[in-house]
Amino acid sequence: MNQGDRIQREEYGTVSNGGYFTLEKGWSYIENKRAGQAEGTPPDYLTAEVANTVRRFHQGIKGYKTTPLVTLEQFAKELNIGGIYVKDLSSVLGLDSFKVLGASYAVFRLLCKTLSLNEETASFADLRSIPKDKFTFVTATDGNFGKAVAWVAHQLRQKTIVYVPHNMIMRRRNAIETFGAKVLEPKGEDKSFDGAMHELSSYLGKDSYLVVSDTSWEGYAEIPRNVMQGYLTMCDEAAEQLSSLGLRKPSHIFVQAGCGGLAASIVGYYNSLFGNDRPISIIVEPTTAACLLQSARNGKWAKVKLGDTIMAGLSCGEPSILAWPVLHNYAHHFVAMPDDVALYGMRVLADPKPPDKAIISGETGAAGMGCLTHILKANPDFAKKLGITRSSTILLFNTEGETGE
């Protein structure tokens, strides 16, 4: 097989009858042959037992409520599948993103370690006794994580510095500044999210400065690991909510990915519950920021050059070195799609047919729904390749509310 044939098979795939299915312009796809065959021990920090601990922590934060699981019964009938369930994280703790789950837990663990507090007996409320402005949290963001860290710092009466890409829309900057954060752009030539990330290293080890990132790099993994653990709360809630509906597990999970932290948390959690019987996972990225798909194609961690995308929360050119091994070993499929599919997903969520409930989502939050809907309506051969049938039950995560301009 020559190089051209190899890429064609990766990009277009094959269906069970040996024929090719064609993806439209702007789409890419890789099936991960390693899923279910990887050697070694699954990550022990993304288990259901850890999820129980993290969930109790979040339940102890004033104002925390279990986020809803929305059943789209009518839409599932329209698409001729067994069920669609959306875990709606558009209003966690009064914010409009799931990121506060990871940020709050990571900050809690970091401060307990810094102040030699007992994590098993301490609570988020206990941290409010820290002297005002004793610490400055430093992070980088494409929007939601920076706002989450700023919110946590505001709750604890501490300061925040947030590095953002040059092209971040003003509404996102203003939302971060609402919580008293100082918002800065990268000093170097790279003005993207990756450039913002590179600013953090200069703060490591500085007195009173605490770096809180959801992306890991060489020598920096503990805090991103805690961020990923923070996301287990929504996984555990979703599993419990599905169980209450009589569903042991979904057949498929569509989850959008930037650096991969959220996706790895979900895949790792379900692997801890079901092993090789876990739901089929489809990792969704923008075509212009498909670092995970490229890594899957290469068979190893890979960086990509970023292009423009409206899916701001997924605009990452470098996979998390912590998340990538989890996805490399246990995620089933990687799909990259154009921006208009995310817009399509927003419309689908916002304007359902009764009695389905409307869900307000941003471009990033609707990526999974856009991908699922477009595939089922426009490319049944692709759906067949993903194992989606009339009896399939799909779990999606709406990770953000309305973003605006």
Q: Report the candidate in 221, 211, 98, 114 with the shortest Cα–Cα distance to residue 148.
A: 98
Please, which residues bridge with residue 20 across strands?
14
Report d(CA 134, CA 150) in Å as an integer.
15
Catalytic residue among 87, 99, 159, 385: 99
Report d(CA 329, CA 202) in Å as an integer.
33
8 Å CB contact between 207 and 77: no
- Please tell me whether residue 205 adopts helix, strand or coil conformation: coil
Q: Report the candidate in 110, 111, 112, 143 with the shortest Cα–Cα distance to residue 309.
A: 143
Report d(CA 285, CA 315) in Å as an integer.
9
Please, which residues bridge with residue 70 across strands?
86
Query: Does 142 participate in catalysis according to the annotation?
Result: yes
Catalytic residue among 88, 142, 194, 236: 142
Q: Report how far apart the first and last C-alpha atoms of the chain are (Å, whole number).
A: 47
Say which residue the tokens 């990268």 belong to: 186
209 to 50, 102, 159, 201: CA distances (angstroms): 28, 19, 9, 11
Report d(CA 278, CA 34) in Å as an integer.
14
Query: Does 88 participate in catalysis according to the annotation?
Result: no
Report d(CA 231, CA 261) in Å as an integer.
9
Pairing of strands 333-337, 69-71: unpaired
**In 10 A of CB 378, how many CB atoms?**
11
SS3 content of the chain, % helix, strand, coil (to 5): 45, 15, 40
Residue 180 burial (CB < 10 Å; 0-12/13-18/19+)?
Answer: middle
φ, ψ of residue 386 to 5 degrees: the values are -80, 0
**In 10 A of CB 119, how many CB atoms?**
13
Report d(CA 333, CA 284) in Å as an integer.
9
The residues assigned a catalytic role are: 99, 142
